[in-house]
Amino acid sequence: MFDVGLGTLVTYNPTVVAQDATLDIVEGLFKLHDIRHAPVVDGQRRVVGIVSLLDVQRARNGGCYVTDDGFEEATDLCVSDVMQSPVVTVRSDDTPLAALQVLLTHGFHSVPVVTDEKLVGIVTSSDFLRELSYGDDPLFREPLVKHILSEKAQIDAQESLMAAGRKMESLGVDHLAVVSGGLPLGYVSRRDLMIATPQEIDVLTCGHVANTFHATTPNISMAAKLGEGVRILLEKHVKVAMVVDRQQRSRGLLTVRTALAGIAGALEHEHATFVGQAIA
């Protein structure tokens, strides 16, 4: 599938932020460059953290944040207060499979790429999907239903967000299809629960999923191939798509993570085949 090194997937010279940058600056950069995460570097371009839009939103919505010095108002925070650190990185000479395994193992959507401990680029989940969508690998033609979250990963629109959170935990997933009478309405994500404001705590307990779900999710036929589904994720700039049958009833979810897992499986198979041939 990827008969070249990691270099063809890397975005070089990505947008970075400094540890002392304010949250306003970070939000401005995210909006300007249409990104959701950025490496945090020191003066020698060594990666000291990574900050995401979710980190900023949680700090904003919480009104205050716990730092080494106690509680601080969100308006007084800088990147070093909210960033994730230490950071998992990959080397520029690592394989695509190694980078992909980092994304899947840690649930990341991006990972910094370093050479001699200094940042040179970043590789994202979209980079892997884009490479798959351009190619003609057999994985591209596999049935979509082999790479989706099953019908178990769904919840009725009248259930509470707390119930949705419990179901995500029990199934080990980050998304649930939201349905009504078996018909798909959209999806709700773990991220939706994580950015709740203090005023929304009661909503988490007794509010309905119907008040929170994403309703603009594209639908994909369960008869489609994986490549078609990946193209829709990329073209619509979404991380989730509803999978439906001929009667337009919900049959599961295609997510970036399930698509990446398919790519990882194909790469692992290629590697095992290569090793087997070398030994023979």
E strand or H helix that includes residue 241: strand 240-244
Mean pLDDT of 99-124: 93
- Residue 236: pLDDT over 80: yes
Do you know the residue count of the chain?
280
Among 195, 205, 201, 108, which Cα is nearest to 166's? 205
- Residue 203: pLDDT over 50: no
Query: Is the whole-model pTM more than 0.75?
Result: yes
Give the residue range(s) of CATH 3.10.580.10 domains in the chain.
Answer: 6-124, 140-262
Q: What is the DSSP letter of 107?
A: T
Residue 68, CA atoms < 13 Å, CB-side half-sphere: 3
Q: For position 195, what pLDDT does the model report?
A: 65
CATH superfamily for 140-262 is: CBS-domain (3.10.580.10)
Q: For position 277, what pLDDT does the model report?
A: 56
Q: What is the DSSP letter of 144?
A: G
* Average pLDDT of the residues of the chain: 85
- Residue 122: pLDDT over 90: yes
- Residue 6: pLDDT over 70: yes
Share of residues in the chain with pLDDT > 70 (%): 84
The whole-angstrom separation of Cα 245 and Cα 180 is 15
The least confident of 21-30, 53-62, 94-103, 189-198 is 189-198
The whole-angstrom separation of Cα 23 and Cα 61 is 13
The least confident of 19-28, 214-223, 265-274 is 265-274
The whole-angstrom separation of Cα 280 and Cα 24 is 59
- Tokens 């970036």 appear where? 256
pLDDT digits 0-9 by tens, 50-87: 999 888 888 877 644 444 444 445 557 899 999 999 99
Mean pLDDT of 9-16: 93
Higher pLDDT among residues 48 and 5, named by residue: 48
Q: Which amino acid is at 26?
A: V
- Residue 138: pLDDT over 70: yes
Q: For position 1, what pLDDT does the model report?
A: 55
Helix (H, G, I), strand (E, B) or coil at 43: coil
- Residue 29: pLDDT over 80: yes
Q: What share of the chain is helix, strand, coil (3-state, %, to 5)?
A: 45, 30, 30
Q: What is the DSSP letter of 9?
A: G
pLDDT digits 0-9 by tens, 144-155: 999 999 999 999
Q: Are 212 and 206 in contact (CB under 8 A)?
A: no
- Topology at the third CATH level for domain 6-124: CBS-domain (3.10.580)
